[in-house]
Copies of this chain bind each other. A is one copy, B any other.
């Protein structure tokens, strides 16, 4: 996993607290404290697996001595009914953690799976598939990680690490030129400036103000192709707005550098994953 488990341990603990609260009354009353068990985690449909380290951490928090073995590597494309991981430890820990571990795994694998479909659809072109800020509140770091697992790339992480100038900023500033200038005077020199445009005139103004990235907002395919030609490598070109799996190849064919899709994170169906438990 290319993210540090420490950075997201708080999210995992919050999820466990939300589910377990004062204690799992069923497991605590019925299962003896020292009973051990083995769980097998199985993908019930095909897809890309993401979040194995999260699942491992869920069980490690509940039972520091539990042993979690990945049966496929992170990012693996699994077939239907393929076992993906095995965990052994206290039965109470496995029972109490099962739902939380699966909730993470299903969602992240779902995002990785959908992203991989977009990436596949755009294969053959240089275009990168990127995510947006349309992520689940509280889970952005994880969901952006899942996009990377699926072969996609990330847009900015939030409002704090890059400038993205939209129509309202432009109208307050009095034009793209002024908006870019104000931003450039304020931000670290390490940060890029992206401008959202709708017309050819705006593209020209954005280029003159030396924007690093130009986002084409809801343009048609011809407009995009014309924009790519006009910009001619002097800035990165991002296509955005209403791009679906069905038309992503057509958009990629226009020559844009990047295609962003909110659907990657907010419309991915969970991958069907379950866990079966045996006492040992």
Contact = CB atoms under 8 A, between A and B. Distances in A.
Interface of A: 2-4, 6-7, 11-12, 14-15, 18-32, 35, 37, 61, 91, 95-96, 99-100, 103-104, 106-107, 128, 130, 133-141, 148, 153-166, 168-169, 171-173, 179, 182-183, 185-192, 194, 212-213, 236, 238, 257-258, 266-267, 269-270, 277, 279
B191 A25 contact: yes
29 contacts: A2-B186, A3-B23, A7-B20, A11-B137, A15-B138, A19-B158, A21-B160, A21-B161, A25-B163, A26-B164, A27-B159, A29-B186, A30-B165, A30-B172, A31-B169, A95-B168, A106-B266, A136-B136, A136-B139, A138-B139, A154-B188, A155-B189, A155-B190, A157-B160, A161-B161, A168-B277, A172-B279, A190-B191, A192-B192
Contact of A14 (B32, B37, B137): B137
Contact of A25 (B104, B133, B162, B257): B162
Contact of A169 (B26, B164, B183, B189): B26
B138 A14 contact: yes
A54 to B, nearest CB: 9
A277 B188 CA distance: 27
Contacts of A191: 25, 156, 161-162, 190-192
A95 B138 CA distance: 19
A190 B161 contact: yes
Contact of A267 (B91, B186, B192, B269): B269
A15 B133 CA distance: 11
Given A103-B134, A267-B270, A169 B27 contact: yes
B140 A19 contact: yes
Nearest to A169: B30
Nearest to A258: B189
Contacts of A3: 22-23, 28
Contact of A159 (B23, B32, B183): B23
A22 B258 contact: no
A123 to B, nearest CB: 16
